[in-house]
Amino acid sequence: MSASRSEGDEALVNEVLTDDELRAVLTRLRPESERDAFGLVCRRWLRIQSSERRRLRARAGPSMLRRLAARFPGILELDLSQSPSRSFYPGVIDDDLDVIAGGFCNLRVLALQNCKGITDVGMVKLGEGLQCLQTLDVSHCKKLSDKGLKVIASGCQKLRQLHIAGCRLITDNLLHAVSKNCLNLEELGAAGCNSITDAGISALADGCHKMKSLDISKCNKVGDPGICKIAEVSSSSLLSLKLLDCSKVGNKSIYSLAKFCCNLETLIIGGCRDISDDSIEALALACCSSLRILRMDWCLKITDASLRSLLCNCKLLAAIDVGCCDQITDAAFQGMEANLFRSELRVLKINNCVDLTVVGVSSVIESCKALEYLDVRSCPQVTRQSCEEAGLQLPGGCKVNFEGSLSESDPSVDRFF
């Protein structure tokens, strides 16, 4: 009798549970392995699992993409990006994008980094078919130009994030189109698009008033006029600004950020050699409650005054890079321990600060108990031996980099900058 009831119960599971109830079961399965196992029960459960899938990472041609679109109708995020070190030819091509535009019409996020085979033809298809798209990453797709991405701007007006780093054919014309059509844009990554000028950045500011993150590193035609305009318009919404090697950016930009962008959390100005102490001190006071990450290596006019002001005022500062700022000395850190100063600093890069000694490093260690990484490469007076002779006790778990080329990077630190 018991055996018969058990067999009957098993036979009735699919008859008793509705699709919605099975979906409720699926949503309660947290590990990916359990969700995959759900689809192995039977075809019905596989169909439900497929309909609930929202993310997909694939590497496939048009035929397979059509099958994936039919099987996973609810996909919102699609990643077809390639690794720069292991990209294959031809990889994703315009025919694939044609299938995506027709088969994944509800797509919100599309990643195509390093897809070297796609052209403006494919972008036109996406712009005409993906009206719900909110995030597009075509970084290092080097064949793309304004022509295709302007169709994206006009057709995907819900766009919030656009990443075009390394697309060197892009000009101010695209930014004019984005400003006109994508009024909710919050994030633009355009590092290395060195045809962009102040005119393009100013045009972007005219229409996109909600910018939270802007990366125009190595856009060396952008200077103070464009940055001042974006700072004034974006104001308190701007959280991250990256201007690495934008040599035309100077103190006017920093003063403008201090005046308008009180919530700024990340600022990258490495290589902006005209920036000096007065503007950085103004920024330290204005953004004292928000600034967390600051990179200003190779800002050769920066002195102890800037670093002291930042460390004393910006209590949330987690990472700072003043590498190759050769006017930095021990004086930047003097008095910190005497004033019972305590910093939440986790990363400090002071490499190639040739006047720095063990005395300054000792002050850093005493006041920055949360320190996880200290870079003192090419500081001739700060060596492993000199630190050991001085009896310095580093915070537990803190990595000190004494040696190696300045061109070498550390992945654990790169995530900050």
- For 407, counting Cβ atoms within 10 Å of its Cβ (0-12 exposed, 13-18 middle, 19+ buried), the class is exposed
pLDDT of 183 > 90? The answer is: yes
Residue 3: the pLDDT is 46
pTM tops 0.95, yes or no: no
Which tens digits make up the pLDDT trace of 109-161? 999 999 989 999 999 999 999 999 999 999 999 999 999 999 999 999 999 99
CA pair distance 215, 244, nearest whole angstrom = 9
Number of neighbours of residue 86 by Cβ within 10 angstroms:
7
Round to whole Å and give the CA distance between 13 and 4.
Answer: 15
Q: Which of 24-38, 325-339, 364-378, 381-395 has the lowest mean pLDDT?
A: 24-38
Tens of pLDDT, residues 189-220: 999 999 999 999 999 999 999 999 999 999 99
State pLDDT tens for residues 66-122. Answer: 988 988 888 999 999 998 876 566 789 999 999 999 999 999 999 999 998 999 999
Torsions phi, psi of 275, nearest 5? Answer: -80, 135
